[in-house]
Amino acid sequence: MEKEREKCLIVGIQLTGSDEENDMEELTQLVEAAEGEVLGCVIQNRHSIDNRFYLGQGKLEEIANYASELDVETIIFNDELSGSQLKNIEDIVDRRVIDRTTLILDIFARRALTNEGKLQVELAQLKYKLPRLAGMRQDLSRQGGGIGSKGPGEKKIETDRRHIVSRIQDIEAQIDKIEQVRDTKRKKRMKDEIPVVSIVGYTNAGKSTLLNSLIETCYADEELENKKVFVRDMLFATLDTEHRRVKLPGGRYVIFSDTVGFIKKLPTQIVKAFKGTLEELKYANLILHLIDINDENLDLHRQTTLDLISQITDNEISVVTVYNKIDKIDDSNVRFIPNENTLYISATEKNNVSDLLEYIDNKINGEKAKYAFKIPNSDLKSFYYLYENRFTENVEYVEDGVKLEAIIYEDEKYKYETYIL
């Protein structure tokens, strides 16, 4: 039996003069990712966010009535709320109040599988909580609350505070250690000189699906099952970074990494707690920016991702733009913009996935060309290498060596120059 979903009302503000639409569709998807159900949606046009109540006090009273009418348990706001806003709103609406940050942290907490992921989420949650405890204490002392309630009340929060601070330090130390392990692994990858291509993009763009399609090009069926990564039509399906080695058409390898998706107004606590995970991007040789071509807010989401990429990498790594899900295009409104750094694919249907690999091969390893060789018996090692690692054909054993045709990278041509016929 399916578990009863938490009934929610969602609330947002549309700032006048802002071209950024307050996307309640996305908030609905976030609520669903947290196993909630949206029964109603309220949006208010305003010039600015109210410091005390987020939106107008009158509007809040309306919202309180609407919430009773709908019989929802929880009201969710589409921005981060301060401690005092939370408290003031709760006083009026008299039910559970959650902001966008808490919601996203909650989803992350549900998805985190690895020890590192769990620690990062807990760290972000504690850092969110800490400044809000202070707000609460002020409220308590303002209310007075009578003898007995004030002291112990304050004291409890104070111990919580101290507990939280020491837990934060403890987690930070543990994350530091994990980071060292990650560092070692990364150094090994760099030493092996296998280039890394990071797949990044807005959440639900199809990054993990693409990684699965890429590994299908080079692993046997029996190996595939335990190489595949988790795919789901929900926001933040992936939290932990995965790396997979894939063979390029020319025979060299790259490592693809699939990581946490981006979202607008990604809580700063998350960005900070996931700093190590996100900073992996700095060590990529190439960034593959995946975009859902059917996304209604494509431009905004693309910009959100580009901003995060430039924040993390200082724009030092080249970015190739890949539009995904072309299989379900409603062709009337799609613009194919021809550009040498833009590709169009379908990760599920595997349309143009081999072109993408060819493109990456070229971007990382440069040109390839086919040559006819005659390799002498004295250097059969070179023959075996080419035979196993490059595309070869028309192999012919002759008296003093082997003749063959092979596609090699231009940057390795010098090694075989003298054998070219």
Query: Residues 161-200 vs ligand GTP: string with x where CB under 6 A?
Result: ----------------------------------------
CA dist., res. 77 & res. 79, Å (int) = 6
The contacts of residue 149 (CB under 8 Å, 6+ apart) are 140
Instruction: Report yes or no: 5 and 63 within 8 Å, Cβ to Cβ.
Output: no
The contacts of residue 37 (CB under 8 Å, 6+ apart) are 5, 6, 7, 8, 31
- Sign, CA torsion 91/93/96/99: negative
198 binding Mg ion? (CB under 5 A): no
CA dist., res. 32 & res. 350, Å (int) = 29
Dihedral, 305, 310, 312, 317 alpha carbons, nearest 10: 110
**Burial class of residue 5 in the structure, from the number of CB atoms within 10 Å of its CB (0-12 exposed, 13-18 middle, 19+ buried):** middle
Query: Which one of ligand GTP, Mg ion, none interacts with residue 125, CB within 5 to 8 A by kind?
Result: none
Stretch binding ligand GTP (CB under 6 A), from 47-55, 172-180, 234-242, 396-404: 234-242
Shortest distance in whole angstroms from residue 99 CB to Mg ion: 25
Shortest distance in whole angstroms from residue 299 CB to Mg ion: 22
290 binding Mg ion? (CB under 5 A): no
208 binding ligand GTP? (CB under 6 A): yes
Shortest distance in whole angstroms from residue 362 CB to ligand GTP: 23
Q: Residue 214 corresponds to which amino acid?
A: L
**In the numeric block, which tokens belong to residue 93?**
């609406």
Reduced to 3 states, what is the DSSP secondary structure of residue 243? strand
328 binding ligand GTP? (CB under 6 A): yes
Among 102, 198, 238, 365, binds Mg ion (CB under 5 A): 238
CA dist., res. 290 & res. 306, Å (int) = 11
Stretch binding Mg ion (CB under 5 A), from 118-126, 131-139, 234-242, 368-376: 234-242
Query: Which one of Mg ion, ligand GTP, none interacts with residue 252, CB within 5 to 8 A by kind?
Result: none
Query: Which one of ligand GTP, Mg ion, none interacts with residue 206, CB within 5 to 8 A by kind?
Result: ligand GTP
Write the DSSP symbol of residue 52: T
Q: What sections of 144-206 are H helices per DSSP?
A: 150-191
291 binding ligand GTP? (CB under 6 A): no
110 binding ligand GTP? (CB under 6 A): no
Shortest distance in whole angstroms from residue 163 CB to ligand GTP: 33
313 binding Mg ion? (CB under 5 A): no
Stretch binding ligand GTP (CB under 6 A), from 140-148, 183-191, 203-211, 330-338: 203-211
Query: Residues 331-370 vs ligand GTP: string with x where CB under 6 A?
Result: ---------------xxx----------------------
Nearer to Mg ion, 128 or 274 (CB): 274
Q: Cβ-closest residue to ligand GTP?
A: 261
**In the numeric block, which tokens belong to residue 196?**
């890394």
Instruction: Report yes or no: 178 and 119 within 8 Å, Cβ to Cβ.
Output: yes
321 binding ligand GTP? (CB under 6 A): no
**Burial class of residue 44 in the structure, from the number of CB atoms within 10 Å of its CB (0-12 exposed, 13-18 middle, 19+ buried):** middle
Nearer to ligand GTP, 29 or 102 (CB): 29
Side-chain half-sphere exposure of 187, counting CA atoms within 13 A: 6
Query: Which one of ligand GTP, Mg ion, none interacts with residue 352, CB within 5 to 8 A by kind?
Result: none
Stretch binding Mg ion (CB under 5 A), from 9-17, 79-87, 108-116, 207-215: 207-215
**Cα dist from 130 to 108, 116, 143, 151, 267, whole Å:** 19, 21, 21, 20, 15
385 membership: H or E segment, kind and range: helix 380-389
Among 71, 233, 330, 400, binds ligand GTP (CB under 6 A): 233
237 binding Mg ion? (CB under 5 A): yes
238 binding ligand GTP? (CB under 6 A): yes
In the block, residue with structure tokens 């004295």: 378
Which residues make up the interface to ligand GTP (CB under 6 A)? 201, 203-209, 231-233, 235-238, 261, 324-325, 327-328, 346-348
- Which residues are at the interface with Mg ion (CB under 5 A)? 207-208, 237-238
